[in-house]
Structure 1
């Protein structure tokens, strides 16, 4: 492809390596080693949400403090990903990965030992930074270790680990919080980190492209970090401030201005943080957009599903996680299968098919009601997992495979950053859709439930999460019958809002299927780009 950035070719013996007989640098052992570290970070993305109520009670934290436990991690991760990928390209992905593993495990242990919520938040930010070092480096190691014809299968298994860990977080977190303590949610990362470190020291081999970057674009790092912070912060706070609020609009405007300044700067420096010529590759650009749209629907939709299962159906965190097993199982089964399909047919057909399957699943979830049974839910959850699997694998391969080898770390950071932006955007936008629908439907559902007068405005917030506050039952003159009717109004309103949110997610998935038509296999991966071994 003429718009592709050429990759310097090395001598034949320095091409993408064949599988080794020894431990050091063996492709499949490399995959196993990085999967342990990736699992630790992916699991932490959802496992902590289950522990938040226990942390709040034990440390007497405010709601804002608890929100910062999640937001601090998300901000640090999103802001640092691309810069972390560049560090891997410069100093080697093996070293960056190992530093990320050690830092993440130490920060996790420090959280478990913390007696103040401020310390928990501080170490969560450090977790995000070290997690950002680890994730792009893992992809860089896979890209350099596997020959082109086996890379898709490797990324398929890598995607399976991420999907299974993300979906399994509520189950593991629920079991640990219920039967051990909230600290155990973080302490569990310490032995996992030790295992990942030992395997990494023994197995991982450093690979660097011959024309790897030798300098840093410090102004670019500052501008990109500032732009990402403004964007993610606006998305996080939009639900609280409102989309039309001056603060939300101000941060969004600042993000646009700083992104523009970053783009201008990148055209003028000798070794830019993100060479904009990367985006001359239509497949790479399409893969990045596809990753944003996929994460929009997946993470935004999953946010409501957990409330639906726990608050509307009254399930415990562990039972909620078990109800999501069809989604997890299909991602586990589907990701390696998707890797094989993409290797044989290229990414376009599996990606389009995956997003169509995801759109059908999202549409199916608009039919969920307060009385929907486990079997019906499982069908749509399984279909969603089946649709997401090829997209997680294929979009990652398209982004990383269409980038020059010396920028594989940046490409890995771009892939992860696209997921973070898409997930934040999905949660914020679908949350706003939910809030709007709740505002328009709650009064009608209140009357329909046979309740007199107008609903208490405070109950609108309850309807947005589908839960009736416990203090309602303690109000003067309240009877079990009235409480049940209030619960009916709240649950019906939540379900109607969730249905509209899934409708929007369905439309976004259809758009993503169209974007997938512009993807293709990475030309650099096919060529077996030259690699230098350190």
Structure 2
């Protein structure tokens, strides 16, 4: 009898003990090491690019919307494809799916590094996200099939720690690479890592396939969900960039996305092998857990997007120094994650999740008060509090979602948790970017006038205010005096800080809503049977 490794169908009981493999192939701990390398690349790329964004924007002369799509394209592709990728693994084997994901991720990373146009960077980031989606569920499927029931929870815990540490370490690694090599090296680094993971995987991984794997795929569901999310995020970005919130095109995009979402929901009730069985959402705690993940990622990923520009543009820090200033955030996430796991195990998820989102909201409101004169100690306080608040949500959300799902759908629920985080991150970057851009557009001309600068502002300087980064060539412009350069720099920084503060206020409000949603979470009856304990 073989173990059910599918991310869509979990047997009503513990997985049978896998047969011990001779030699390297199929060795449990070597399998864990192999999949950890691949998962590390995907998790790292989720945040490492944030540090590289200012350099990419300057080198390729990208707009704010272009830079947002570097993140949004990756996150959306990852989110939309996660559940489908799990079904591909069930049908064709998790080993094959994982190795294809590794190879594709490395190749697309190299393609990004060689790209000389922002459009190509975005396109290859989308491709990178699709291959990354193949890695995540396949890695979990391999672990479930390789480890015995009593050791599976430990393996998944280590797997989750790799994801957490990679996500948190992205800004520091990115800072080192951008400052000492180039922004392209952020992507080129995936090539040697991918080769190591591919060779190691070919030697170590053993193929596992689920019994009764699905023979058909919900292609219409995939297309409808992809179209709905794409239309929504694109409309939000363009609304803040040029269309305006009352523009016809904006409402066409948003309205079209609503129609596509409704069509997706209707189709999923009719599809033979639905991409996302909607009956799962009859569970209030499960639905609350998914919404919580989306809102948490909305606030976190959307806010992190602005922090890197604030540190490098307003404070003039190098990429490495920017990463070091984020150490309170990343370090607190790593340190507090196991503590959060213990609290959730002892007291249940509700209190830690509510408390975590309250801390997150407090940090966001505190960060809304950052300005050009804010010192390192104050920044560290808010960054550290943010990391403390995020850890319980990242650790506990899977237990809430999977534990409240039917046993036969607990794998889909686990994929749903990951998808919710990616979708929330994409929406947060888009919405908060639009909020930021709107505030900058509303205030720039007035701030310019108040500064008493005689010459009219150029569109390039208003765009610079969206990033908080003063063009260095401005200081050498004909007729530019040190006083004039200082005045223009002050307008750009003050306008950016005002927009960023408004965006963080919105993020704080979203975190408050998330804290209220967390009140509806609880440990499910299937929590232990569905994987036992806490996952990330």
Q: TM-score band (shorter)? A: 0.7 to 0.9
Q: Which residue of 1 aligns with 2:186?
A: 185
Partners of 1:6 and 1:404 within 8 A in 2: no
Q: Which residue of 1 aligns with 2:399?
A: 397
Partners of 1:287 and 1:399 within 8 A in 2: yes
> Structure 1: how far apart are the matches of 2:79 and 2:122?
16
1:319 to 303, 318, 321: 321
Partners of 2:440 and 2:466 within 8 A in 1: yes
User: How far apart are residue 367 of structure 1 and its match?
Assistant: 2.5
Distance 1:412 1:23, change over 3 A: farther
Q: Which residue of 1 aligns with 2:4?
A: none
Q: Which residue of 2 aligns with 1:166?
A: 167
What is the SS of the residue equivalent to 1:273? coil
Q: Which residue of 2 aligns with 1:417?
A: 419
> Structure 1: how far apart are the matches of 2:36 and 2:446?
50
What is the SS of the residue equivalent to 2:271? coil
2:267 to 261, 265, 268: 265
1:291 to 290, 293, 307: 293
> Structure 1: how far apart are the matches of 2:228 and 2:234?
10
User: How far apart are residue 391 of structure 1 and its match?
Assistant: 0.8
What is the SS of the residue equivalent to 1:268? coil
Distance 1:113 1:472, change over 3 A: closer
Q: Which residue of 1 aligns with 2:350?
A: 348
User: What are the within-5 Å matches in structure 2 for residues 123-134 of structure 1?
Assistant: 123-134=124-135
> Structure 1: how far apart are the matches of 2:269 and 2:237?
31
> Structure 2: how far apart are the matches of 1:151 and 1:298?
30
Q: Which runs of 5+ in 2 are unaligned?
A: 1-7
User: What are the within-5 Å matches in structure 2 for residues 31-430 of structure 1?
Assistant: 31-51=32-52, 70=71, 72-112=73-113, 122-141=123-142, 157-201=158-202, 212-240=213-241, 241-404=243-406, 406-430=408-432
Q: Report whether the alignment pairs 1:432 with 2:434.
A: yes
Distance 1:499 1:218, change over 3 A: closer
Distance 1:67 1:332, change over 3 A: closer
User: What are the within-5 Å matches in structure 2 for residues 451-470 of structure 1?
Assistant: 451=453, 458-470=460-472
> Structure 1: how far apart are the matches of 2:218 and 2:459?
51
Partners of 2:171 and 2:326 within 8 A in 1: no
Distance 1:406 1:214, change over 3 A: farther
> Structure 2: how far apart are the matches of 1:465 and 1:205?
48
What is the SS of the residue equivalent to 2:363? helix
> Structure 1: how far apart are the matches of 2:30 and 2:346?
23
What is the SS of the residue equivalent to 1:244? coil
> Structure 2: how far apart are the matches of 1:205 and 1:296?
37
Partners of 2:51 and 2:308 within 8 A in 1: no
Q: 1:228-280 deviations in whole A, cap 9, x for unaligned? A: 33233334433323333322322222221122112112212332221111111
Deviates more, 1:107-116 or 1:60-69: 60-69
User: How far apart are residue 194 of structure 1 and its match?
Assistant: 3.1
> Structure 2: how far apart are the matches of 1:116 and 1:495?
29
Q: TM-score, with normalisation over the residues of structure 1?
A: 0.85
**Aligned pairs, how many?**
523
> Structure 1: how far apart are the matches of 2:176 and 2:214?
45
Partners of 2:75 and 2:425 within 8 A in 1: no
User: How far apart are residue 177 of structure 1 and its match?
Assistant: 3.4
User: How far apart are residue 497 of structure 1 and its match?
Assistant: 2.2
User: How far apart are residue 336 of structure 1 and its match?
Assistant: 2.4
Partners of 1:235 and 1:424 within 8 A in 2: no
Partners of 1:289 and 1:515 within 8 A in 2: yes
Q: Which residue of 2 aligns with 1:517?
A: 519
User: How far apart are residue 37 of structure 1 and its match?
Assistant: 1.4
Q: 1:152-179 deviations in whole A, cap 9, x for unaligned? A: 7766654543343334333323322333
Distance 1:504 1:146, change over 3 A: farther
User: How far apart are residue 281 of structure 1 and its match?
Assistant: 2.0
Distance 1:21 1:262, change over 3 A: same
> Structure 1: how far apart are the matches of 2:528 and 2:370?
44
> Structure 2: how far apart are the matches of 1:159 and 1:529?
13
> Structure 2: how far apart are the matches of 1:101 and 1:392?
25
User: How far apart are residue 431 of structure 1 and its match?
Assistant: 2.3
What is the SS of the residue equivalent to 1:527? coil
User: How far apart are residue 52 of structure 1 and its match?
Assistant: 5.8
Partners of 2:168 and 2:334 within 8 A in 1: no
Distance 1:147 1:263, change over 3 A: farther
Q: Which runs of 5+ in 1 are unaligned?
A: none
Partners of 2:235 and 2:254 within 8 A in 1: yes
> Structure 1: how far apart are the matches of 2:169 and 2:112?
21
Q: TM-score, with normalisation over the residues of structure 2?
A: 0.84
What is the SS of the residue equivalent to 1:526? coil
Give me the CA root mean square deviation.
3.6
Q: 1:16-35 deviations in whole A, cap 9, x for unaligned? A: 87999997767766554433
Distance 1:282 1:71, change over 3 A: closer
What is the SS of the residue equivalent to 2:245? coil
> Structure 2: how far apart are the matches of 1:406 and 1:156?
22
